[in-house]
């Protein structure tokens, strides 16, 4: 039985459940935007590009974006991405890297109410704690709300970048393969 079901005191409040859910929704938005960005950097129609990006872990998408930016800068001379846009894209990518550890805890820990203003999470993994680390965390509701605000800003920033990178339509891509008359 999950620990937050063991007593009414450890059960999360509706507000705490909502905060955890909002955080994960915003993280999903970030991952989606990263996939769209990578698809555009690879000069691929989005639907086709998703066959490549959908099965990639978010950190792999981030690594691929870094490599694609390098290629865009060196091999293609920055035609698609100017210096400022490339820097903004790398900033967003790096900011999401900083959130990744926190996201993993939100997604994989068992969460209980510490009190009405904070939650307690633990991985409850087997084995002995390493270096005094018991793999647990206490988060105030206000801290989780601040994390959500930070992710929402990264979503907005990511959308601004997406809107500046030209999309390759499926129709345009197909023009290269249609027989010439």
pLDDT at 177: 77
- Phi first, then psi: what are they for 130, rounded to 5°? -100, 130
Overall domain count for the chain: 1
**Three-class HEC string of 132-163:** CECCEEEEEHHHHHHHHHHHHHHHHHHHHHHH
Does some domain include residue 127? Answer: yes
pLDDT at 1: 43
Dihedral, 149, 155, 161, 162 alpha carbons, nearest 10: -170
Domain region containing 161: 3-174
Neighbours of 125 (CB within 10 A): 10
Does some domain include residue 58? Answer: yes
Lookup: tokens for 52: 């490549």
Does some domain include residue 82? Answer: yes
Global pTM? 0.84
pLDDT at 38: 95
Does some domain include residue 179? Answer: no
Burial class (CB in 10 A: 0-12, 13-18, 19+), 156: exposed
> How many residues are listed for the chain in this entry?
181
pLDDT at 14: 95
pLDDT at 67: 96
pLDDT of the chain, 181 residues: tens digit per residue: 455 656 666 899 999 999 999 999 999 999 999 999 999 999 999 988 888 898 999 899 999 999 999 999 999 888 888 999 999 999 999 999 889 889 999 999 999 999 999 999 988 766 555 665 568 889 999 999 999 999 999 999 999 999 999 998 888 888 877 777 7
Does some domain include residue 23? Answer: yes
């Amino acid at each position: 039985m999950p620990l937050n079901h063991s007593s009414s005191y450890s059960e999360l409040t509706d507000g705490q459940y909502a905060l955890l859910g909002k955080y994960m929704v915003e993280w999903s938005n970030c991952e989606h935007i990263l996939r769209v960005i990578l698809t555009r950097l690879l000069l691929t129609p989005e639907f086709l590009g998703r066959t490549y990006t959908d099965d990639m872990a978010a950190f792999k998408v981030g690594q691929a974006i870094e490599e694609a930016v390098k290629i865009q800068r060196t091999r293609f001379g920055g035609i698609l991405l100017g210096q400022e846009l490339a820097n903004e894209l790398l900033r967003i990518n790096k900011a999401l890297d900083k959130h990744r550890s926190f996201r993993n805890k939100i997604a994989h820990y068992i969460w209980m109410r510490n009190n009405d203003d904070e939650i307690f999470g633990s991985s409850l993994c087997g084995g002995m704690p390493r270096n005094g680390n018991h793999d647990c965390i206490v988060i105030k509701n206000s801290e989780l709300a601040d994390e959500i605000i930070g992710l929402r800003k990264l979503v907005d920033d990511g959308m601004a970048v997406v809107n500046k990178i030209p999309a390759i339509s499926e129709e345009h891509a197909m023009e290269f393969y249609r027989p010439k008359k």
